[in-house]
Amino acid sequence: MDKNSTSCVTRAESNIALPGVPQKEMMITMSHFFAFLARMKFIQRWGLMRNTQPENVQEHSLQTAIIAHGLAVIGNRYYGAAHDPERVMALAVFHEVSEIITGDLPSPIKHRDPALHSAYSRLEDAARERVHLMLPAELQIDYRALLFGDDSASHMALVKAADKLGAYLKCLEELKGGNTEFALARESIERDINAIDLPEVQHFVEHFVPSFSLTLDELNR
């Protein structure tokens, strides 16, 4: 098998022996998909910045999923939306899956030049496809929309907003720890958030974001 292929291999091909099972019967399909996903915890974000608390892609994906789910619930409860919170959350879990292959490219580099941004977008698509092909063929259809984000526009808008909110909260946490390295990033991301035309986002900012600047003692009052 080509070492660059990311599709499945059989147990026999992998040279892993199962006790008591003859080698000729060990034609169990093995996929690298979930093992690759688990490596998100090794990919650090904010590579150009001095961090007091490092953040990896797995941590960021979890926080984005939690926020995205919350935005969907807020939209349904307060603004008459018809979001599927669980679907939005699942899309957010996988929204950075390409970085398993590409690593995290800092935003100042990614957005500096339109040609570079376009080239990186193509690279991200190729990385997602590579991860997608790690799945057994029977499962690929179940994960394609999650990996490529080609779901409803309203769901993806919530995921993108949650991604931005997660970055903003990271800035607040760094600033709370006295790290002024994130001051300009906070201002830039705050402008982006204020420009998002989603009532769910502004509701989250007004009612939930202020608590992130409090200490544990203040939260426990």
26 and 47 both lie in a single domain: no
Counting the structural domains of the chain, the total is 2
23 and 128 both lie in a single domain: no
By the 10 Å C-beta count (0-12 exposed, 13-18 middle, 19+ buried), 154 is classed as middle
Please give the residue range of the domain that contains residue 91: 33-219
5 and 113 both lie in a single domain: no
DSSP conformation letters of 162-195: HHHHHHHHHHHHHHHTT-GGGHHHHHHHHHHHHT
**CA–CA gap between residue 201 and residue 83 (Å, rounded):** 14
Residue range 111-115: mean pLDDT, rounded: 77
Percent of the chain with pLDDT over 90: 71
Please, which residues bridge with residue 9 across strands? Answer: 30
Q: What is residue 47's predicted lDDT score, i.e. its pLDDT?
A: 87
Cβ-defined contacts of 77-81 (< 8 Å, 24+): 78/199, 78/200, 78/203, 79/199, 79/200, 79/203, 81/154, 81/200
* CA contacts within 13 A on the Cβ side of 83: 30
43 and 11 both lie in a single domain: no
15-19, 139-143, 178-182, 196-200: lowest mean pLDDT where?
15-19
41 and 75 both lie in a single domain: yes
Looking up residue 108, the CATH number of its domain turns out to be 1.10.3210.10
What is the average pLDDT value for the chain, to the nearest integer? 87
12 and 67 both lie in a single domain: no
215 and 115 both lie in a single domain: yes
Ranked by mean pLDDT, the top range of 91-105, 119-133, 181-195 is 181-195
1 and 83 both lie in a single domain: no
